[in-house]
Amino acid sequence: MIAKTRKQEFWGGVRDEAPILLGVVPFGLLFGALAISAQLGSLASQAMSAIIFAGSAQFIAAQLVASGSSGLVIVLVVFVVNLRHALYSASLAPHVRQLGTGWKLLLSYLLTDEAYAVTITHYNREGDAPDRHWYFLGAGLTLWSAWQASTAVGIFIGAQIPASWPLGFVLPLTFIALVVPALKDRAGVVAALVAGLVGLLAFGLPYKTGLLLAALIGIITGLVIEGRQK
């Protein structure tokens, strides 16, 4: 166990999170600009970054709002897309169990993919210590600040872009850029194809409920194929 002061821990988290911002800030800018072009309004766009505070779920929510999906479908999709955070929560739980409720609430709010990545690495490398959670706070707050600020700048930029530009097409392109590199094995590829095809066939279902059906069938297909390969 290496004991450090609160200040050292906090700034350690800030320092380790900083390089990751290079990858996060462009997405914040893009989100702000696209949310505006999806007619979300600048206040709601900024609020979404503070309230949901999860990149991919925010992009999807903006897209679904723009295409007139029902509120229930949007809420369910956001929930499912963010379910992975339960794994991060489980993985960090033993390290923060001694903290009070206030700390647990605050750190949970700040628990994003990027904050988790550096924080769990820190715990694994340095072990538990009384003030270790200040590192988590430093990393989480750094990402939070960058995400809010880049959203704000993106909203400003988005408001300057003429409405005639086909900016709406950037959203599906962003999704393509996220999905295609993630297809690393047969189970993933088939899951994507099945989800896409069911989404297409079920497109006529009201309020985009076809999206939920398609995602569910895609996930189950992926699990089945992966199970068979073992």
Partner 1 sequence: MNIWVIMIIGGLLTFATRLSFIFLLDRIKVPDWFRRGLRFVPVAVLSAIILPELTSPNNTLFLSWRNPELLAGLVAILVAWRTKNVLLTILAGMAALVIIQLLFGHFGF
140-169 residues near partner 1, rule: CB under 8 A: 166, 169
Q: Please report, as residue ranges, which positions from 18 to 37 form the binding site for partner 1 (by CB under 8 A).
A: 26
Closest CB to partner 1 among 8 and 108?
A: 108
Selected from 52, 130, 159, 186, the binder of partner 1 by CB under 8 A is 52
Q: Please report, as residue ranges, which positions from 56 to 75 form the binding site for partner 1 (by CB under 8 A).
A: 56-57, 60-61, 63, 65, 67, 70-72, 74-75
Selected from 19, 100, 102, 181, the binder of partner 1 by CB under 8 A is 181
Closest CB to partner 1 among 125 and 184?
A: 184
Q: CB under 8 A: which stretch of 1-9, 119-127, 149-157, 186-194 binds partner 1?
A: 186-194
The CB-side HSE value for 90 (13 A sphere, CA atoms) comes to 5
The CB-side HSE value for 105 (13 A sphere, CA atoms) comes to 3
Binding-site size for partner 1 (CB under 8 A) equals 87
Q: Please report, as residue ranges, which positions from 205 to 224 form the binding site for partner 1 (by CB under 8 A).
A: 210-211, 214-216, 218-219, 222-223
Minimum gap (Å) between residue 7 Cβ and partner 1: 24
Closest CB to partner 1 among 149 and 219?
A: 219
Closest CB to partner 1 among 8 and 89?
A: 89
Q: Please report, as residue ranges, which positions from 73 to 92 form the binding site for partner 1 (by CB under 8 A).
A: 74-75, 77-92
